[in-house]
Amino acid sequence: MVKQKIVLRFPPHLVEQPTIYHLIKDFDLMVNILRADINPKKEGRLMMELSGEELNYQRAVEWLKEQGLRIMGLEQQIIWRSDRCTHCGACTVICPTEALAFNRPEMTVSFDEYKCVVCELCLKACPARAMETLVENANSR
Ligand code: SF4
Ligand code: SF4
């Protein structure tokens, strides 16, 4: 028996596919959705706990990858604490994907989590400790 919390990232063309249905029906897994962020025709994210037989879980993971979904552990999610951010811009210089971007003329920083590739460079670069992993974030609350 395995019980695993994961995050699934869906490309836009897969957002409306019955992925959960297949996990339950084809792989006999129990699916507990912890958080969902799904928008039609945009990239989506599902945080869920999967439980079931180890072999079924492994087969389901392979199937999900074959479908083009990204599977990430909870520690691989980056959180922007806007309440701590001073909009100094330091992170925008080192972020390789422009997930952290400086907006003009507002002179504010914004975070687009769908562009984030979890390189973690911003975690060390931020003087205000406004960038965290999801696990750090959960532990600090
Ligand atoms: S983890 Fe990397 S890609 Fe993601 S926001 Fe931070 S610097 Fe940008
Ligand atoms: S380095 Fe930290 S405080 Fe500065 S803009 Fe980026 S997230 Fe905000």
Whether 63 contacts 27, CB under 8 Å: yes
Q: Do both 61 and 84 map to the same domain?
A: no
User: pLDDT (tens digit, 9 = 90+) per residue, 12-66?
Assistant: 888 788 999 999 999 999 999 887 877 777 778 888 899 999 999 999 999 999 9
Q: Is 99 in the pocket of ligand 2 (CB under 6 A)?
A: no
What residue's CA is closest to ligand 1, atom 2?
119
What residue's CA is closest to ligand 1, atom 8?
95
Q: Do both 7 and 59 map to the same domain?
A: yes
Q: Do both 13 and 70 map to the same domain?
A: yes
What's the total number of domains in the chain?
A: 2
CATH, residue 6 = 3.30.70.260
Q: Measured between alpha carbons, how far is 78 from 107 in angstroms, rounded to an integer?
A: 22
Round the CA-based radius of gyration of the chain to a whole number and report it.
17
Segment 77-90 shows an average pLDDT of 94
Confidence band for 118, pLDDT divided at 50, 70 and 90: confident
Average pLDDT, the chain: 88
pLDDT > 70: percent of the chain:
94
- Residue type at position 84: R
